[in-house]
Amino acid sequence: MKIFISTDAMNWFQQEMEAVKGDTIRFFARYGGSSPLHEGFSLGVTKDTPFEPTVTYKVEDILFFIEETDEWYFDGHDLHVELDSQKDELKYAYKKA
């Protein structure tokens, strides 16, 4: 399982979440909504401190991670984070390696 962040998505994190060098950003399973992987759950994103990260991806000295407790949500899929330019918001794709 891996994380991929597009250049446009990275710009979004820097502008909308004010992400700067040294920040750590967590992707996590949250109750509510839906996703292609799990009905009733959706993907959340927040600035957080890693505790037991199972997957990490570092770009421009910003660490993106998924905690071991949230690994179930991805069901072995890689996470691809891109920007929906029409809505100016993040969009997620889940792809098997």
* Average pLDDT value over all residues in the chain: 91
| Alpha-carbon torsion, ordered 53, 50, 96, 32, to 10 deg | 120
pTM surpassing 0.85?
yes
Show the tokens assigned to 39: 């009905």
Sign of the C-alpha dihedral, residues 83, 84, 90, 94? Answer: negative
DSSP letter for 61, please. T
- CATH number of the domain where residue 70 is located: 2.60.300.12
Residues of the domain holding 28? 3-96
pLDDT digit string, tens, across residues 38-50:
666 789 999 999 9
Domain count, the chain: 1
pLDDT of residue 36: 66
For position 40, what pLDDT does the model report?
67
